[in-house]
Chains A and B, each alone.
Chain A
Amino acid sequence: MSDPVRAVLGQVLAVAIAIALGALVILAVGESPVRVFRVLFLGAFGDATKIAGTLLQTTPILVCGIAACISLRAGLFNIGVEGQLFMGGFAAAWIGFGFSLPPVFHVLLGLAVAALAGLAWIAIPAFFRARYGANEVVSTILSNYVAVLLTSYLTIFLFKRPGGWSETPPIHESAYLPAIFDFSRLNWGIVIGLALAVGVWFYFRATPRGYAITTMGSNPKFAEYGGIDIRRQGFAVLLVSGAVGGLAGGIEALGVHRRFMEGFAPGFGFDGVIAALLANGHPLGTIVTALFFGALRNGSLLLEVDTNASREIITVIQALIILAVSAQILMRRRADSTAGERRWKF
């Protein structure tokens, strides 16, 4: 068997094992796995509205996944996408309700400020990582908690909608990221996400800078001897990754909720990181994994109505998939241990 075929087969086998384990968990909570999977599938792809809903859920996961891909490429873990998403979401909403601007410009400014907010949010962890080697996994995780609390504070104490409950005023219509169909909140964010995925893939594949980043990720020593300033490059990569995370929040705020509220977009950042990991940091692969997770999420909306299982059962399935895949790839890698070592490859 050729290597790529074996790799894909292995991945499929790992996902199958994870789903089998997931079925056991569903049995353990007293539900029928067949029914749960059926509800999940129909909830995700049952009709046009459901498919649009799946794409709607896919959008933030995809954009967050691309953010994670960018950092993974350089061998860095930006686990703080969730926090950047919250900061970006708040910043975009603030531009949206706080200013009156001409239509198209308003949206673009909102998205740009969202990206800036994400960038600003990762700047300190990125600086200390690049300059002094402070562990970015822990610092970005901890800053997630701060971001969620800080945006809640800003929303409730400084920008609360009069008479509302822990949400900002709605944004002006000029700041709406337009919907694609009239039957769903699905918006142009999905197009932005797909364009980003292709753009990032092309960048890593075809530009010298992209190659330098990939080299840094797969072998930092080699990259350094090759004349790459890995500190500066690492810093820049984390900043861009954070900016994309912020953009994801901007898309959610301007395209879906059209305001910022407490508990805005819970877990999309983490789902994005997992989607990127599952795709092994490949931007195009992340489209597929993000769609898969988006489908799971959208399918799970009906889960609590139609079955006794809680919708968190899908996070269990996601985690099991990651675990199965992480074990499986390494069984393969142990056989050919001369393969280049990538810190983020699992």
Chain B
Amino acid sequence: MEVLEKLFNVALVVATIRTTAPILLVALGGSFTTRAGIFNIGLEGQMLVGAFFAVIGSIWTGSALIGVACGVAAALVFALVFALLVVTFRANEVVVGLALNILAGGMTISLMKAIFGTRGSIVGHGIVGLPKLTVPGARDLLGSYAPLVSGFTPLVYVAFLLVPLLVLFYRRTRLGLHIGVVGEKPDAAEAQGLSVTRIRYTASLLCGLLAGLAGAHMSLGYITMFTENMSSGRGFMAVAILIFSNGDPVRLLLGCLLFGFADALSLRLQTFGFPSYLVLTVPYVVALVALFLLAWKTRPKLVRETADSMRRLLSIRPASPER
């Protein structure tokens, strides 16, 4: 019991919010492409170059803000290449996404070696991290619960504020609706005079913007360093969440909180002497189980629809009227 009390406390919730932020940012970015009908497995690589160039920008200019801007710019370049190949050249999304991920991994390591002469990681060198924002009055109002709302880096607030904003964006704005139409019925969108190409490019670039922010948060947020392949599958987890949330921001948030929690818990468990190798698998296993469970759950509808349409096609039996 005492262990449980030590494990589940305010600090764990705070840690969950922290670990949720980068995966939430990248998943929200992915919601643009998912909604626009693009399967974007390249999130991982966009995040990684975002993290790398954020560190570079921060070192060269001494400003965290410019660092973030550099990270975003790099992720945008990757997003642009992705869109060019997938939308304009109609190359396979999975192939291009994977290749860009590999490119991101190799490029960041090569550049790290060229610039710093080291392998492994960039620590120190005057990296300026993001400041922590204190919400005024939180301490007085909430007492020991204040860390729940105060003291996070700005991008954490951005991530969580983006959720309601994106709900509004998809429901109320012209571009948001267009993205949805292009994703669901590209032919109809074309017939309406919408440029599918332009909207998919826009969606891909918006995705790169948020993936870059996610990367910058990884390397300039709570730890100010860059490590080889430091995104360690978070982009892929985001894709898993995107698949079963279908790009809906609220469901994305719930999924991301689940992973943030799994991540925070696994960090916690390590300090209790559980073998780190097993504990580190927790977030991946959670992602896999969630992916499988959701696929299993959505099955009945799919099977029912297929069975119905088959029946109608073959007209063996009339479609059941009570449905």
Contacts and interface: CB of A to CB of B under 8 A. Distances in A.
Contacts of B142: none
A153 interface: yes
A346 B92 contact: yes
Contacts, number: 165
Given A327-B85, A346-B92, A135 B243 contact: yes
Contact of B96 (A28, A157, A270, A326): A326
Given A30-B114, A145-B232, A310-B113, A319 B299 contact: no
B317 interface: no
A128 interface: yes
A345 B92 contact: yes
Interface in A320-346: 320, 322-323, 326-327, 329-331, 333-334, 343-346
B278 A153 contact: yes
B148 interface: no
Contacts of A31: 114
Nearest to A154: B277
Interface stretch (A136-144, A180-188, A232-240): A136-144
Contacts of B133: none
A313 interface: yes
A279 to B, nearest CB: 13
B106 A157 contact: no
Contact of B236 (A142, A312, A319, A344): A142
A109 interface: no
Contact of A315 (B90, B106, B237, B240): B106
Given A30-B114, A273-B98, A322-B99, A330 B91 contact: yes
A139 B278 contact: no
Contacts of B60: none
B95 interface: yes
Contacts of A131: 299
Given A146-B281, A146-B285, A330-B90, A320 B103 contact: yes
B119 interface: yes
Interface of B: 41, 81, 84-85, 89-92, 94-96, 98-100, 102-103, 105-107, 109-114, 119, 232-233, 236-237, 239-240, 243, 275, 277-278, 280-281, 284-285, 287-288, 291-292, 294-296, 298-299, 302
The 9 closest A-B pairs by CB, nearest first: A315-B106, A134-B295, A29-B114, A319-B103, A153-B277, A310-B113, A326-B91, A322-B99, A346-B92
Interface of A: 25, 28-31, 77, 79, 124-125, 128, 131-135, 137-139, 141-143, 145-146, 149-150, 152-153, 156-157, 270, 273-274, 277, 308-310, 312-316, 318-320, 322-323, 326-327, 329-331, 333-334, 343-346
